[in-house]
Amino acid sequence: MLIVKDLSVRYRSFTALNNVSFTFDPGESVGIIGPNGAGKSTMVKAMLGLIQSATGTALLKGKPLTQQLSQVAYVPQRSQIDWDYPVTVWNVAMMGRTLQTGLFRRPSRQSRELVKAALQRVGMYEYRDRSISDLSGGQQQRVFLARAMAKEAELLILDEPFIGVDKKTESIMFDIFNELKTQAKTLLIITHDLSETLDNYDQLLLLNKHIVAKGQRHEVMTEDNLLTAYEGPVLSVAA
């Protein structure tokens, strides 16, 4: 179980996140939505200890999340990744096995098999020797999903994974999310897409520095909730 309680982030007098609390069970996929600047990325970074929180805790199975990062696979926004770094598809996916392998040891046979299976599942094994910079946006996201899968983590956090991807990649990713749920993995996915793709999530978390609403789509995507979160009308949203 993932439990976040009273999580706040402040930068001097500015509050980026205010007393966020929620609980999600293993096997749930959660869509995290809200306007730009709502604190979505800030929230997950504070949960992981990547930025300092002013208050609050994040627990996974009753223990601080920051003390068991081996159980977390985090895929940041595309803008935070150096796509020009000279590394192959295979080596990117193998990064998911770094904790198990160590920095200066050869990957085990098990790690190689896990990475191969992950790349095959996302349809990128044939590109394994290609530089990550030579791929399309959708292909790059599939490789990073393979890295997350190879880690065999209990909690997967993906920040805007659908930006710049094609429909084929989107379909592959949602299929894999459903498979991971059957393995009792918890998935937190930050998204700006307010279309029918929200039906793919078990729960939604609507955020604007605090939690505006949490629950299933019909509970969250109400006119009042959206007006509160986006501080104005939101177009092309069907509840």
Identify whether 73 is part of a domain: yes
Domains identified in the chain, total number: 1
Distance between the two ends of the chain, CA-based, in angstroms?
28
Is the separation of the CB atoms in 144 and 116 below 8 Å?
Answer: no
Q: Which is it for the CA torsion 166, 175, 205, 202, positive or negative? A: positive
CATH number at residue 11: 3.40.50.300
In this predicted structure, what is the pLDDT of residue 77? 86
Closest C-alpha among 144, 145, 185, 155 to residue 65? 155
Could you tell me if residue 44 is inside a domain?
yes
Does a structural domain hold residue 21? yes
Q: Is 17 a domain residue?
A: yes
Report d(CA 111, CA 161) in Å as an integer: 24
Is residue 238 one of the residues assigned to a domain?
A: no
Per-residue pLDDT 10s for the chain (239 aa) are 999 999 999 998 899 999 999 999 999 999 999 999 999 999 999 999 999 999 999 999 999 999 999 899 999 887 777 777 789 999 999 999 887 666 667 888 899 999 999 999 999 999 999 999 999 888 999 999 999 999 999 999 999 999 888 888 899 999 999 999 999 999 999 999 888 899 999 999 999 999 999 999 999 999 999 999 998 777 645 44
- Check residue 214 and give its pLDDT: 97
Count of residues making up the chain? 239
Alpha helical stretches, state H, the chain: 40-47, 89-94, 98-101, 109-121, 137-150, 167-182, 217-220, 223-230
Report d(CA 103, CA 186) in Å as an integer: 27
Sequence-ordered alpha helix ranges (H) in 59-197: 89-94, 98-101, 109-121, 137-150, 167-182
Does some domain include residue 239? Answer: no
Q: Quick one: pLDDT at residue 44? A: 96
Per residue in 201-227, is it b (16+ CB within 10 Å) or e — as a string?
A: bbbbbbbbbebbbbeebeebbeeebbe
Sign for the CA dihedral angle at 79, 80, 84, 89 comes to negative
**Domain membership flag for residue 235:** no
- Amino acid symbol at 178: N
Domain that holds residue 141: 2-230
Asked, for residue 64, whether it belongs to a domain, the answer is yes
Q: What is the pLDDT of residue 81?
A: 76
Sheet of strand 203-207: strand arrangement: 72-75, 155-159, 186-190, 29-33, 203-207, 211-215
